[in-house]
């Protein structure tokens, strides 16, 4: 099994007619993802390599039965794209776009919770989600992901999402689903959302969690793991050597007032029984030990 997406998931690419939307939309279709349409109000009725383009998500959902969308819209248009998807009947929204204004993120996050509580938002500023061998939505390279489980991956860092997949592939360990939640201040999907989904998924037997400095998401995840998870977890927290008060990479990775440090996050995770590696490779090796002991 998997979480959030599988081989039956039908996806609309919002921004399919743009260069990046076209590139990844076609690449994901080649992987085997059911890319059934795109949206662009100025190009409705056209197609991209046989994929029909619709004026909006409501039209696309009505014509194709799509349940997921992937947003490759420039940052200024993301709020409208998210709401178009939710109002159009999309239940799982993946937003790849980075640089989305924080107030826009907070606005659509709160509006989705209030008006569309059945909609799951992933991102913005994330690599997307892949259930290896079944469905790839976003920018993750499919060839580095080994299908078949038993490990689920959730990562806040985009680049380290790929490394986590590669580390497990090198050890011949398959993945149920890998979720890149993104590192912006207002993520649509949290560590806890993914941990709860993996805990409920019978095919996922263990979880690899990649975090980084800044915020309190990892500490909150540690508390959830300690009190609710029955499945073993390995982890790596990026940013051990980051100087306090410095922004590292993006808006979510900033340490202030002694909070959000890598050391504090690792301590919380260890206290929750998580096996914590000092680098991504070690986290992969710890997961290999977990899998071998099953």
Strand 275-277 versus strand 233-238 pairing type: parallel
Q: Strands, E, within 40-105: which ranges? A: 47-48, 51-54, 68-71, 92-95
The Cα–Cα gap between 146 and 65 comes to 29
Q: Which residues contact 185 (CB under 8 A, 6 or more apart)?
A: 102, 105, 215, 251, 252
Find, among 228, 227, 142, 224, the residue nearest to 190 by Cα: 224
| Contact criterion met (CB below 8 Å) for 70 and 96 | yes
Find, among 217, 213, 231, the residue nearest to 275 by Cα: 231
Residue with tokens 């260069």: 19
Q: How many residues does the chain have?
A: 294
Active-site residue set:
250
Q: Strands, E, within the chain: which ranges? A: 10-14, 34-39, 47-48, 51-54, 68-71, 92-95, 120-122, 128-131, 135-138, 150-155, 174-180, 206-212, 233-238, 275-277
């Amino acid at each position: 099994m998997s979480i959030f997406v599988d081989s039956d998931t039908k996806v609309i690419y919002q921004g399919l007619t743009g260069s990046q939307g076209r590139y990844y939309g076609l690449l994901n279709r080649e992987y085997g993802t059911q890319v059934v349409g795109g949206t662009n109000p100025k190009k409705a009725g056209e197609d991209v390599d046989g994929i029909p383009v619709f004026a909006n998500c409501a039209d696309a959902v009505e014509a194709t039965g799509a349940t997921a969308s992937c947003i490759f819209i420039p940052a200024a248009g993301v709020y409208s794209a998210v709401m178009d998807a939710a109002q159009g009947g999309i239940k799982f929204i993946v937003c790849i776009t980075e640089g989305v204004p924080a107030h826009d993120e907070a606005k659509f996050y709160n509006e989705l919770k209030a008006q569309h509580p059945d909609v799951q938002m992933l991102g913005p500023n994330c690599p997307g989600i892949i259930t290896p061998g079944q469905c790839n939505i976003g920018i993750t390279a499919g060839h580095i992901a080994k299908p078949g489980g038993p490990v689920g991956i959730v990562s806040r860092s985009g680049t380290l999402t790929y490394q986590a997949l590669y580390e497990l592939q090198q050890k011949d360990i398959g993945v149920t689903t890998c979720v890149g939640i993104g590192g912006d201040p207002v993520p649509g999907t949290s560590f806890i959302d993914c941990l709860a989904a993996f805990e409920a998924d019978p095919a996922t037997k263990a979880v690899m969690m990649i975090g980084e400095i800044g915020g309190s998401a990892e500490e909150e995840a540690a508390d959830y793991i300690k009190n609710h998870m029955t499945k073993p977890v390995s982890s790596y927290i990026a940013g051990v050597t980051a100087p306090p008060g410095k922004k590292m990479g993006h808006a979510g990775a900033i340490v202030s007032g002694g909070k959000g440090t890598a050391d504090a996050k690792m301590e919380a995770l260890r206290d929750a029984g998580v096996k914590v590696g000092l680098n991504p490779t070690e986290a992969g090796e710890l997961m290999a030990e977990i899998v071998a002991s099953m």
